Amino acid sequence: MPSDISKDTIKKETTIKQSPNVERSTSNSDTSEASVKEDIGSKIHQLRLAKGYSQRKLASLAGLTNTAISAIERNKVSPAVNTLDAILKVLESDLQTFFSSDWNSKQSKKVVIKPDDLIELKDVGRGVSLKMVHNNCPSLNLGFLIEEYQPNSSTEERIIHEGEEIGTVISGEIVMRYNGVLYHLKSGDSYVIDTSLPHTFMNPSDGITRIISAHSPATY
C-alpha cells in the first residue's frame, strides 16, 4: 500500500528521475567554461601581438614567467583574476573591455604571410630586429624569426625560455654566448641550442648580419 512506501524508496526514485537533467546541466556548464577559457587565451594572444611583445617581454612586465604566459595563451591553465588584471594592464586593456560581448576574437589562420604582416618584436636588443612569422593561431607549436643585426649590436643578455632553437646565419657573422661559452658563426653556419640555458647573440663586425631561426614551443 502507498503508506508502506519508505522515504528511502521515494528518495531513490526522485534521484533517478532528476539525474538526466543534472547531467545535461553539468555538460552545458563544462562547455561554457571551455568556451570562456578558449576566449581568454585567444584574446591575450591577440593583444600581445598587437603590442609587438614577445611572450618573454609580456611575462617580464606582468611579473610572471614566460612559461605561464605560454600556458595561458594555449589554454592549458585559466589565470586568476588578479593575474589576468596584471596582464591586461601591461597590454593597456581592462577586465570590462576584455569580457565585453562585442569583442571579436576570431581571426582566420593565414597560409601565406606577406612582409608587411610580419610581427616586429619590441625591446629585443640594441640594433637588433626580430620579425616573427605568424598565422594568427594561438596554439602554434613552432616559432619562426627573421633576424637582422646591425654592426656592433647585441640581443638582451642571457636570454632564457623553454624549448629548443635551430638557426642559420644567412649573411654576415655572429658571436653566440651559450651557457657561458662563446661560439663564432659565419655565413652558412647553423646552431642548435637548448633555450632553457642562457644565450646571447652579438654582431661584432662592421657589417649587417642576417639569421633565420625556428624555436619550439613558440614561447620566445
| Per-residue model confidence as pLDDT tens for the chain (220 residues) | 444 445 454 444 444 344 343 333 334 444 444 445 457 888 898 899 888 898 888 999 999 988 899 889 888 899 999 999 999 999 999 998 888 876 655 567 889 999 999 999 988 999 999 999 988 777 778 899 999 999 999 998 888 888 899 999 999 999 999 999 999 999 999 999 999 999 999 999 999 999 999 999 876 7
In the prediction, which pLDDT does 29 show? Answer: 45
In the prediction, which pLDDT does 220 show? Answer: 72
pLDDT digits (tens, 9 = 90+) for 133-142: 988 777 778 8
> Residue 155 contacts by C-beta under 8 Å, 6 or more apart in sequence?
124, 125, 128, 200, 201, 202
In the prediction, which pLDDT does 106 show? Answer: 56
pLDDT digits (tens, 9 = 90+) for 46-72: 899 888 898 888 999 999 988 899 889
In the prediction, which pLDDT does 39 show? Answer: 78
Residue whose C-alpha is closest to residue 136's, from 212, 36, 218, 220: 218
Domain ranges of the chain: 8-98, 115-216
Which listed CATH number (1.10.1280.10, 1.10.260.40, 3.40.50.11540, 3.30.2090.10) goes with 8-98? 1.10.260.40
In the prediction, which pLDDT does 104 show? Answer: 58
Q: Is the pTM of this model over 0.85?
A: no
Residues 167 and 214: beta-carbon distance below 8 Å? yes
In the prediction, which pLDDT does 135 show? Answer: 85
Question: Can you say whether the dihedral through the CA atoms of 180, 181, 184, 190 is positive or negative?
Answer: negative
Strand 199-203 versus strand 143-155 pairing type: antiparallel
What CATH fold (topology level) applies to the domain 115-216? Jelly Rolls (2.60.120)
CA distance 23 to 31: 12
CA distance 145 to 215: 8
In the prediction, which pLDDT does 105 show? Answer: 53
